[in-house]
Amino acid sequence: MKLKIVTPTGVKYEGEVSRVQFPAATGLAEILSGHDKMIAAVRTGRIITDVQEFDCNGGVLKVENDNITVVCE
């Protein structure tokens, strides 16, 4: 899957990952390859991938065709 994390200062990460875990409104959520289309609110916390971890102060996550885009502060 391709992950792109965008903040007000620019692109924080862009690359291949095999999983993404994030703090959703209802608790911790995980996205794996082949996930259905989705838009979700991201709460303040850590976005965790198999490659790296990122701090996020809230935002929005979109999944479409194995492309994940996170816009956060």
Q: 63 lies in which domain range?
A: 2-72
pLDDT tens-digit series, residues 4-16: 999 999 999 999 9
C-alpha–C-alpha distance, residues 15 and 6, integer Å = 12
pLDDT tens-digit series, residues 33-70: 999 999 999 999 999 999 999 999 999 999 999 999 99
Can you give the three-state secondary structure of the chain, one letter per residue? CEEEEEECCEEEEEEECCEEEEEECCEEEEEECCCCCEEEEEEEEEEEECCCEEEEEEEEEEEECCEEEEEEC
pLDDT of residue 70: 98
Domain at 35, CATH number: 2.60.15.10
**Rounded mean pLDDT of the chain?**
96
